[in-house]
Structure 1
Amino acid sequence: MATKTKALIGFRRMKDDELMVLTRTVIGAMTGNAKFLVPFPALDDVAELLDDFTTKLTAARKRGSPEDTALKDESKVPLAEALQQLGYYVNGIAKGHLSTLLSSGFPTAAPATGSIVPAMVEEVRISDGRQSGQVRLDFTNQIRMRLYEYTFRKLMVPEAEWSDRLTTTSSKGNIIVPLEMGLFYEFKVRALNNKGAGD
């Protein structure tokens, strides 16, 4: 029995440029595609969200003000959600049929198992810890994944060095200390198994 594939549908943590390229690719691939007669959401609606995000991303890179960056980040959320909904639609139509999935422009992957390299960790979230100088790291758990690796650094110019790589077996409630108050930090997480490390 062939392993069914599916379109990947987690985009909130995708890099800005990668999200723009993927969205354009999907819109181009699905426009006039007889396999997807009534896309949901409509491709025109997704294109409008893409235009809004692209405009705000350009402004954020040009001026670099905190307000412009916040506006760009806010516009990214509905675009990622719309692309996710479109991915659900594609998966529903394709029902694991690889050539149909590929014709949509979405990246594809087989179901996560211990026999393949892990998929990208999705929905990485940072929240305040119970004490000053600590944060809580959470992310979406992957089925049959036993180990995750994460690292962090201060957000500054020039770029700071990443911290030592830390490992955890849990996708919930990872406490990171000590961090300096009043600074921005960025985080990276990937899953590990006996086939290697994910993105």
Structure 2
Amino acid sequence: MRKEKVISNYSGWSDYALSTLAGRILKAMQETTAQANFPQPNPAITVLEPLVNDYITKHEIASRRGSALEISQKNESRDALLNALRSLAHYVNEVANGQLSLLLSTGMVLASQPSSTQAPTMVEKVQLRDGRLSGQLRLDFKPVKAAWEYEVEIGTMASTGEIVWNKVVLTTSSRGNVLSEMEPGVRYCVRIRTRNGKGTGDWCEPVSLIAR
């Protein structure tokens, strides 16, 4: 029987997918259960946490502006994180010794886990409604099974009728997303696309609502 283990090499993953995964792994390893199962992780959580946070921050900066310096800094941070995840995976596989419940508690990806063969499909049934407070909008949509995260782009309508997209929000939930700091009386447009390890889906058709 094949022994279960987690993947140690995430170098082929996109920046968006790696950013989401790294955050998930860090959160899982900080849980009481994982700390009990893996008391001496390599690297230590105190070492892993700043590496994850540094990469996520630099990835967000590089993805929005993308100067040569910012991309270079992001890539250096990515390499450091990949090395740390490789070491952590080796430690986890050694301690877990094939025990599935232990492996799953780390948030890492099983080597035997089937992967999506293509980028996720388009989001459907998008609803934009008033939030509980003035200046808030609530966003709900039908979840996409193969998606790891959703990129929500927010914009306003120019005098020419063209939508000016000026803000991006990332979420892993399809329900109860609250978009805040909206100016009352302004019509806001929202569109969504999906992401997973294989790529990015198409944008959905924009929906709009006037903030109250």
Give TM-score, length-normalised by structure 2: 0.49
**Aligned match of 1:161:** none
Distance in 2 (CA, whole Å) between partners of 1:19 and 1:82 is 13
Please state how far the C-alpha of 1:117 moved relative to its aligned partner: 7.3
Distance in 2 (CA, whole Å) between partners of 1:5 and 1:104 is 13
Contact 2:37 2:102 in 1 (8 A): yes
**Aligned match of 2:92:** 90
**Aligned match of 1:105:** 107
Distance in 2 (CA, whole Å) between partners of 1:58 and 1:30 is 23
> How many equivalent residue pairs?
115
Note the alpha carbon deviations across 1:33-53, whole angstroms, 9 max, x for none.
311111110112111011211
2:72 to 70, 73, 85: 70
5+ residue gaps in structure 2?
A: 118-212
Larger mean Cα displacement after TM superposition, 11-20 or 83-92: 11-20
Distance change in 2, residues 1:97/1:53 (3 Å) = same
Distance in 1 (CA, whole Å) between partners of 2:69 and 2:91 is 34
Of Structure 1 and Structure 2, the greater strand share is in 2
- Flag the structure with larger Rg: 2
**Aligned match of 1:45:** 47
Distance in 2 (CA, whole Å) between partners of 1:26 and 1:117 is 19
Distance change in 2, residues 1:13/1:109 (3 Å) = closer
Matched to 1:72, the amino acid is K
Give TM-score, length-normalised by structure 1: 0.52
**Aligned match of 2:137:** none
**Aligned match of 2:7:** 8
Distance change in 2, residues 1:67/1:7 (3 Å) = same
Contact 2:26 2:52 in 1 (8 A): no
5+ residue gaps in structure 1?
A: 111-115, 121-199
Distance in 1 (CA, whole Å) between partners of 2:94 and 2:101 is 14
Please state how far the C-alpha of 1:56 moved relative to its aligned partner: 1.4
Distance in 2 (CA, whole Å) between partners of 1:83 and 1:70 is 20
Distance change in 2, residues 1:5/1:76 (3 Å) = same
